[in-house]
């Protein structure tokens, strides 16, 4: 007798009780294997996020208070007007204490959109072969658009900040400090890590020893590193950095106790606001972060360099390529996945950094080391404003997700996977 087989459409239409015992057993076994992981993800991942959103919509101070979404009306939602009021009440949990003003937030977002537009325009110009004068003119136009974008971002930030109460401005200022910390450390970490990996990948003596030395700061306890750097960058005359400055005939600095902008202190400028840049104390922490994580990036880059086929280098050398050509056209494109991975991981880590900054900050820094994560911690623990702390945490999570997605949109197409 010929065996009758069912097509895929017929198989999909079969009810659950018609599934063969073998298929049912495989399905149960599969769910049994993934149940522990799914349970852990739900308990320690999804549920805390959902509960944080729930807390952010309440006036929660140690105990749950009023539901903020219902502050503008009483009773049930009966129509579109009540729904608008309900949504407005929910958004007010973020507007009143974090964003400050939606118009300012819109300008802030518009500035970043213009900045991204300038980037895409620049990328398009680079792909076109044109006369030098035309390239210079378009480059100048792109820089002008970027200047306008930064001006819009600064205006939007000022509007949002001025619309908040003094105690609620700390989170926006913390986001500004977080941007300084991230963009001041991650590019340098990646560049130094790639340079050291490229040097260690060559034929040098003691390669394993140098790899261990560069990786050692990453596995050193955070508290110990913070205390050591706190002593090195102390404002006392006997600190290591001040002794070094005195040996060079330069003025002694307060370092970790200096809340003024680094550019103003070192170069005698008088910049204010967002363009003033990070404080001297934050620059010291950035140096500490570079020292800590450069070795980790070096080890990861070494793993990426080891996966590049040597045949490519040999073929390029036969064609007359020098060391710069080998690095520019072979090494750098082939390790782009590693660079992309370290970039995303680094920005996520800096935006959520806590331990080092918490240990190294002092009252003398006047809040210039208080990143967004520290502001959330202070709002929750010291001020007991649990609902606002939850709302701040949700905003920080959205920023991290958005930044990660922007990085993917900008750089993922440039990643070469072979």
CATH of the domain at 295: 1.10.3720.10
Pick the closest to residue 275 from 283, 266, 263 (CA basis).
263
> For residues 104 and 196, what is the distance between their CA atoms, to the nearest angstrom?
43
Residue with tokens 């503008």: 72
pLDDT tens for 227-252 read 899 999 988 888 999 999 999 888 88
The single residue listed with the structure tokens 């990143």 is 371
DSSP conformation letters of 69-92: GGTT--S---SHHHHHHHHHHHHH
Assess if residue 62 is contained within a domain.
Answer: no
Q: What local confidence, expressed as pLDDT, does residue 120 receive?
A: 75
Inside any domain, residue 378: yes
Tokens 């080890």 found at:
299
**What is the pTM (predicted TM-score) of this model?**
0.84
For residue 45, the model assigns a pLDDT of 87
Report the number of distinct structural domains present in the chain: 1
Residue 91 domain flag: no
Residue 2 per-residue DSSP state:
P
Write out the DSSP string of 220-254. S-HHHHHHHHHHHT-SSTTSHHHHHHHHTTPPP--
Looking at residue 149, what is its pLDDT?
Answer: 85
Which residue, 377, 349, 71, is CA-closest to 218?
Answer: 349
Angle at CA of residue 371, ends 67 and 407, nearest 5°: 90
- Domain annotation covers residue 263: yes
Residue 279 parent element (H or E) = none
3-state secondary structure of 418: coil
Q: Which residues contact 155 (CB under 8 A, 6 or more apart)?
A: 104, 107, 111
pLDDT of 2 reads: 46
Q: What is the DSSP letter of 62?
A: S
Domain presence at residue 16: no
pLDDT digits (tens, 9 = 90+) for 346-392: 999 999 889 889 998 888 888 899 999 999 999 988 888 898 899 99
Domain assignment of residue 84, yes or no:
no
Length of the chain (residues) = 418
> Which segments in the chain show pLDDT lower than 50?
1-4, 6, 16
Residue 272 in any domain: the answer is yes
Domain that holds residue 198: 166-383
Is 324 part of a structural domain of the chain? yes
Quick one: CA dihedral 310, 313, 319, 320, positive or negative?
negative
């Amino acid at each position: 007798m010929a065996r009758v087989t069912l097509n895929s459409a017929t198989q999909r239409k079969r009810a659950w009780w018609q599934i063969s015992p073998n298929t049912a057993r495989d399905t149960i076994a599969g769910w049994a294997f993934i149940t522990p992981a799914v349970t852990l993800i739900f308990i320690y991942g999804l549920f805390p996020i959902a509960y944080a959103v729930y807390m952010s919509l309440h006036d929660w101070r140690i105990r749950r208070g009023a539901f903020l979404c219902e502050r503008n009306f009483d009773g049930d939602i009966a129509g579109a007007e009540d729904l608008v009021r309900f949504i407005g009440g929910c958004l007010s949990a973020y507007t009143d204490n974090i964003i400050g003003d939606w118009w300012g937030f819109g300008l802030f977002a518009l500035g970043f959109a213009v900045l991204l537009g300038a980037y895409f325009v620049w990328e398009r110009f680079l792909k076109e072969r044109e006369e030098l004068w035309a390239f210079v003119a378009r480059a100048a136009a792109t820089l002008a658009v970027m200047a306008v974008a930064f001006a819009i971002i600064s205006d939007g930030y000022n509007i949002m900040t001025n619309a908040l109460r003094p105690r609620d401005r700390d989170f926006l200022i913390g986001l500004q400090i977080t941007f300084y910390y991230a963009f001041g450390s991650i590019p340098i970490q990646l560049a130094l890590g790639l340079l050291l990996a490229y040097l260690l990948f060559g034929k040098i003596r003691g390669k394993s020893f140098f790899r261990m030395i560069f990786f050692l700061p990453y596995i050193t306890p955070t508290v110990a590193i913070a205390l050591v750097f706190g002593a090195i960058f102390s404002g006392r005359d006997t600190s290591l950095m001040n002794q070094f400055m005195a040996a060079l005939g330069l003025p002694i600095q307060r370092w970790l106790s200096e809340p003024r902008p680094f550019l103003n202190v070192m170069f005698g400028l008088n910049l204010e606001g967002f363009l003033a840049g990070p404080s001297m104390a934050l620059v010291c922490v950035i140096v500490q972060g570079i020292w800590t994580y450069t070795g980790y990036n070096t080890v990861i880059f070494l793993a990426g360099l080891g996966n590049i086929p040597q045949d490519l280098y040999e073929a390029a050398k036969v064609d007359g390529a020098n060391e710069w050509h080998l690095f520019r056209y072979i090494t750098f494109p082939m390790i782009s996945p590693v660079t992309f991975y370290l970039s995303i991981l680094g920005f996520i880590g800096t935006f959520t950094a806590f331990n080092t900054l918490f240990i190294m900050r002092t009252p003398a820094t006047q809040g210039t080391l208080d990143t967004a994560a520290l502001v959330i911690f202070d709002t929750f623990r010291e001020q007991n404003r649990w609902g606002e702390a939850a709302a701040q945490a949700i905003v920080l999570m959205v920023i991290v997700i958005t930044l990660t997605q922007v990085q993917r949109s900008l750089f993922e197409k440039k990643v070469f996977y072979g």
